[in-house]
A and B are shown apart, each in its own frame.
Chain A
Amino acid sequence: MWRRVVSWVDERLNIMPLWHGFLDRKVPKGIGWFHVFGSATLFLLVLQFVTGIFLTVYYAPSTEHAYRSIEFITGQVPFGRFVAGVHLWSASILVVVIGVHMLRTFVYGAYKYPREATWITGAVLLLLVLAFAFTGYLLPYDQKAYWATVVGTNIAGAAPLVGDWALRILRGGTAVGALTLQRFYAFHIWVLPAALVLFVAAHLFMVIRQGIAAPPRRWPLDLGSAAARLPRRERYERQYAMEKQVGHPFYVSILKDAVFALLLFLAIAVLAVTIGTPLEPPADPNATSYVPRPEWYFLDFFQLLWYLQGQWEPLWIFLIVLGVVLMLLLLPFYDRGPERHPGRRPVAMVCAAVGVVAVMGLTYLGGRKPAATQAPPASGAATAPGAREFQAQACAGCHTIAGVGGTAGPNLSHIGAAMTRDQLRTFIVQGRGRMPAFPHISPDALSALLDYLESLK
Chain B
Amino acid sequence: MSSTAPESEIKPTRREAVMSALGAIVGFIGAALAAPLLVFLFGPAVRGTTIGGLLGRSIPPTPRPREPWTRVGDLGGLQQGEPTITTVQMPVQEGWIQSTVPVAVYVLRTGADSVTIFDVHCTHMGCPVTWNHAAGRFLCPCHGGVFNSDGRVLSGPPPRPLDRYAVRVDGGAVYMGALQLPGT
Q: Taking beta carbons and an 8 Å cutoff, which residues of A are in contact with B?
A: 147, 150-151, 153-155, 157-165, 167-169, 171-179, 285-292, 302, 305-306, 308-315, 317-318, 370-375, 389, 392-394, 397-398, 406, 408-409, 431, 434-438, 440-441, 445
Given contacts A150-B121, A292-B127, A436-B154, list 20 more A-B pairs with CB under 8 A: A153-B61, A155-B125, A159-B56, A167-B56, A168-B45, A172-B44, A174-B59, A175-B94, A179-B45, A179-B94, A288-B120, A292-B141, A305-B124, A312-B55, A313-B159, A389-B134, A394-B134, A394-B137, A441-B135, A441-B136
Q: Which residues of B contact A434 (CB under 8 A)?
A: 155-156
User: Which of the residues B45, B103, B154 comes within 8 Å of A171, measured between beta carbons?
Assistant: B45
Q: Which residues of A contact B172 (CB under 8 A)?
A: none
Q: Is the CB of A309 within 8 A of B64?
A: no
Q: Which residue of A lies closest to B58 (CB)?
A: A154
Q: Is the CB of A288 within 8 A of B62?
A: no
B 64-106 binary contact with A (CB < 8 Å = 1; else 0): 1000000000000000000001010000101101000011100
User: Which of the residues A177, A292, A375 comes within 8 Å of B142, measured between beta carbons?
Assistant: A292
Q: Is the CB of B128 within 8 A of A311?
A: no
With both chains docked as a complex, state the minimum distance between the C-beta of B136 and any C-beta of chain A, in angstroms: 5
Q: Which residues of A contact B45 (CB under 8 A)?
A: 168-169, 171-173, 179
Tell me if B35 is interfacial: C-beta within 8 Å of chain A.
Answer: no
| A398-B144 in contact given A157-B56, A158-B57, A375-B134 (Cβ < 8 Å) | yes
Tell me if B2 is interfacial: C-beta within 8 Å of chain A.
Answer: no
Tell me if B51 is interfacial: C-beta within 8 Å of chain A.
Answer: yes
27 residue pairs of the A-B complex, CB under 8 angstroms, read: A147-B127, A150-B126, A151-B142, A154-B58, A155-B125, A158-B58, A160-B52, A160-B56, A161-B53, A163-B56, A168-B45, A171-B61, A285-B103, A286-B87, A286-B103, A289-B130, A292-B142, A309-B157, A311-B55, A313-B124, A371-B141, A392-B134, A393-B134, A394-B132, A398-B144, A409-B144, A440-B136
With both chains docked as a complex, state the minimum distance between the C-beta of B79 and any C-beta of chain A, in angstroms: 16
Best-buried of A171, A389, A434 by chain B (most CB within 10 Å): A434
Query: Complex: how many Å from CA A286 to CA B104?
Result: 5
Q: Is the CB of B128 within 8 A of A397?
A: no
Q: Is the CB of A167 within 8 A of B143?
A: no
Tell me if B29 is interfacial: C-beta within 8 Å of chain A.
Answer: no
Tell me if B49 is interfacial: C-beta within 8 Å of chain A.
Answer: yes
Query: Complex: how many Å from CA A398 to CA B41?
Result: 42
Q: Which residues of B contact A159 (CB under 8 A)?
A: 56
User: Which of the residues A147, A158, A172, A309 comes within 8 Å of B56, measured between beta carbons?
Assistant: A158
Q: Which residues of B contact A374 (CB under 8 A)?
A: 130, 132
Number of interface residues of B (CB under 8 A): 55
User: Which of the residues B95, B125, B134 comes within 8 Å of A154, measured between beta carbons?
Assistant: B125
Count how many pairs of residues, one from A and one from B, have CB atoms less than 8 Å apart in the complex: 196
Q: Which residues of A contact B61 (CB under 8 A)?
A: 150, 153, 171, 174-177, 285
Q: Which residues of B contact A292 (CB under 8 A)?
A: 127-128, 141-142
Q: Is the CB of A308 within 8 A of B157?
A: yes
Q: Taking beta carbons and an 8 Å cutoff, which residues of B are in contact with A?
A: 41-42, 44-46, 49, 51-64, 85, 87, 92, 94-95, 97, 102-104, 120-121, 124-130, 132, 134-137, 139-144, 146, 154-157, 159
Query: Complex: how many Å from CA A317 to CA B54?
Result: 12
Q: Is the CB of B140 within 8 A of A373?
A: yes
Q: Is the CB of B52 within 8 A of A164?
A: yes
Q: Which residues of B contact A290 (CB under 8 A)?
A: 128
Q: Which residue of A lies closest to B43 (CB)?
A: A169
Q: Which residue of B lies closest to A314 (CB)?
A: B56
Q: Which residues of B contact A302 (CB under 8 A)?
A: 142
User: Which of the residues B46, B125, B156 comes within 8 Å of A168, measured between beta carbons?
Assistant: B46
With both chains docked as a complex, state the minimum distance between the C-beta of A91 and any C-beta of chain B, in angstroms: 23
Q: Is the CB of B125 within 8 A of A392?
A: no
Q: Is the CB of A305 within 8 A of B125?
A: yes
Q: Is the CB of A177 within 8 A of B94?
A: yes
Q: Which residues of A contact B120 (CB under 8 A)?
A: 286, 288
Q: Is the CB of A288 within 8 A of B132?
A: no
Q: Which residue of B lies closest to A440 (CB)?
A: B136
Q: Is the CB of A175 within 8 A of B63?
A: yes
Q: Which residue of B lies closest to A315 (CB)?
A: B55
